[in-house]
Amino acid sequence: MLDDNNSGLSFKIVNDESVIKFTKSSIYNDIIEFISNLNKSVIAVEMKPLEKFQLASEYNNKGNENFLLLSKNVYNIFQLIKNMNKCIDSCPPIKQPFRFGNKGFQKFCEEYYKEIDEHLPQILNDSGIDNISEHTFQLAYYLKNSIGNKNRIDYGTGHELNFLLFLFCLNKLHFFTSSDYKHLVLVLYRQYLEGVRRIQIIYTVEPAGSRGAWGLDDFQFLVFLFGAAQLSYNRNIKTDDIEKKELVELWAPKYLYFDALKYISMLKHAPFHESSQMLYDISGVETWYH
């Protein structure tokens, strides 16, 4: 948990009754609409290597593919997320008698929290949006909680949701435009995904609330939603291609869904239909659209 401060913010979803109330609220509908808009933005769009994305204002559009250029606000958040790697590199796992939950993760969290506290306020101020700095604490809270639980040394879909809410709040503050949406998925979310995967491997963090083979995935959810959107209306790639190792390797650099399957196959050595039963069952649907 993060330290409390005098922001005046408090938790509103604390029990079953408040969950029901939340699902009937306008903000819930706004979040669902945001996810839907992100999904639509990547329909039939392939991934590009992250290292090719640059700040648009630093390059003349002539001779550059437009997809590889990022708006200033997207680029600045991109750099902040990339800094996760720097913090991981400076906080190696420690020697300890147990295999899982390496306490080096706690040092990493402290370092990345400092990175967020140092750079996020400046990024918000540089956006030129009136009064956006008033929301620094809440935005920082979501981003800090997106990397996992420092005390339990675990990570799961709830932490992934915190990252989505970080983007959602920025969007509500008009930090992004609709033309940025595909980059929120294929650049920001993807860079975040690479960072948390490094965390999962290096610090052997436990899956938070995982249902193991009976859940969709130990760590992520959105990657499959966005990944299926990329493949919507693709007539060349079939849903049951996910069972073919050579095709997973072929399509992983271009599609989030296959990239996720490649990562799962690296972590789990049991047959796919045993280790990821729900994903295996989903491969039986007729099209990616469904």
Read off the pLDDT of residues 182-197 as tens digits, 9 standing for 90 and up: 999 999 999 999 999 9
Cα distances (Å, whole numbers) of residue 134 to 39, 78, 126, 217, 288: 29, 21, 14, 36, 41
Same-domain pairing of 101 and 145: yes
Degrees, nearest 5: CA angle 151-153-154: 120
Q: Could you tell me which residue, 118 or 245, shows the higher pLDDT?
A: 118
Indicate whether 47 belongs to any domain.
no
Degrees, nearest 5: CA angle 50-52-54: 100
Which of the residue ranges 75-89, 124-138, 239-253 would you say has the lowest mean pLDDT?
239-253
CATH number of the domain that 226 lies in? 1.20.120.1150
Q: What single DSSP character describes residue 66?
A: G
Contact 226, 282 (CB under 8 A): no
Average pLDDT value for residue range 83-93: 97
Provide the residue range defining the domain that includes 224: 210-290
Same-domain pairing of 165 and 97: yes
Average pLDDT value for residue range 102-126: 97
Give the C-alpha separation, 102 to 205, whole Å. Answer: 7
Strands (DSSP E) found in the chain: 54-55, 69-70, 154-155, 206-207
Same-domain pairing of 102 and 175: yes
Indicate whether 13 belongs to any domain.
no
Degrees, nearest 5: CA angle 194-279-44: 65
Give the C-alpha separation, 185 to 114, whole Å. Answer: 25
Strands (DSSP E) found in 63-197: 69-70, 154-155
Indicate whether 138 belongs to any domain.
yes
Same-domain pairing of 224 and 205: no
What pLDDT sits at residue 124? 97
- Domain end residue (candidates: 209, 226, 243): 209
Q: Could you tell me which residue, 242 or 107, shows the higher pLDDT?
A: 107
Indicate whether 270 belongs to any domain.
yes
Average pLDDT value for residue range 205-234: 81
- Of the pLDDT bands very low, low, confident and very high (cuts 50, 70, 90), residue 1 is very low
- Of the pLDDT bands very low, low, confident and very high (cuts 50, 70, 90), residue 2 is very low
Q: How many domains does the chain have?
A: 2
Same-domain pairing of 73 and 192: yes
- Residue 206: strand pairing partners: 154
Indicate whether 3 belongs to any domain.
no
- Of the pLDDT bands very low, low, confident and very high (cuts 50, 70, 90), residue 274 is low
Same-domain pairing of 165 and 222: no
Average pLDDT value for residue range 268-282: 68
Indicate whether 51 belongs to any domain.
no
Same-domain pairing of 204 and 73: yes
What pLDDT sits at residue 36? 97
Indicate whether 17 belongs to any domain.
no
Q: What is the pTM of this model?
A: 0.90
Residue 35: name the closest of 226, 218, 194 by CA. Answer: 226
Indicate whether 24 belongs to any domain.
no
Structure tokens given for 82:
């990339």
Same-domain pairing of 224 and 193: no
Phi, psi of 55 (to 5 degrees): -70, 125
Same-domain pairing of 194 and 96: yes
pLDDT digit string, tens, across residues 223-263: 999 999 999 888 888 877 877 889 989 999 999 999 999 99
Same-domain pairing of 114 and 132: yes
Same-domain pairing of 82 and 186: yes
What pLDDT sits at residue 3? 44
Mean model confidence pLDDT for the chain: 88
- Domain end residue (candidates: 165, 191, 209): 209
Average pLDDT value for residue range 54-64: 66
Q: Could you tell me which residue, 190 or 12, shows the higher pLDDT?
A: 190
